[in-house]
Amino acid sequence: MGCNRASNPINEYKINKEKGATLIFAIAVAIIVLIVLGGIYYMLTRAFQTSEDIKTYTSVKEAAESAVRYGVVLINQNKPYNDGAGMPDRCTKYTMNYKLFGSSTTYIAIIQICFLGYQAPPGTEAQGAAYSKTTAGGKGEIYSIVSEAEGPNNTKVRIEASYVR
């Protein structure tokens, strides 16, 4: 009778309790990680509204100011120069769509960027005639940025700015 105890078929098919606990723990950790990642994604896309193409502003003035800042970004990316405003007194126009807080209507801000000329940066040698070749990196380029934003009830805001690169 003692020799049959070693080959007990019930003991052969028992699940190790440690392996089962590890599996449940791994599934629980995976679920928690997915919830945290989902929360981060929600905060970045919805709560902070960073992934939207159309930004929401509290006023038309704030949208016009943001359009001027967007114009500076375009200048730093050489966008006006590539679009044909590489010579003095040439202008290019861009648009920026925006929404006002509490409204679902989309409004448009028009940004006009004009290249006015060159200014020699301090400490550099002045050479050639006016509007001579610019220095490396576009240093000394002078731009005019005009932002016109329209809002509800025919409200309009116009901001004019100068930018020296």
Residues sharing a CB contact under 8 Å with residue 44, sequence separation 6 or more, in sequence order: 50, 51
CA distance 111 to 108: 10
User: Quick one: which H or E segment has residue 160?
Assistant: strand 156-164
Taking the chain (165 residues) in consecutive chunks of 10 residues, what is each chunk's mean pLDDT?
Answer: 57 63 90 94 69 76 91 84 70 88 87 81 58 59 90 90 86
CA distance 151 to 63: 9
Query: Which pLDDT does position 23 carry in this prediction?
Result: 85
Q: Cα-Cα-Cα-Cα dihedral of 112, 99, 45, 69, to 10°?
A: 30
CA distance 2 to 103: 85
Query: Which pLDDT does position 47 carry in this prediction?
Result: 64
Q: Where in the chain are the domains?
A: 9-47, 55-164
Query: Which pLDDT does position 105 carry in this prediction?
Result: 87
- State if pTM tops 0.75: no
Query: Which pLDDT does position 22 carry in this prediction?
Result: 83
Query: Which pLDDT does position 29 carry in this prediction?
Result: 95
Q: Where are the alpha helices (DSSP H) in the chain?
A: 9-12, 17-42, 60-76, 79-82
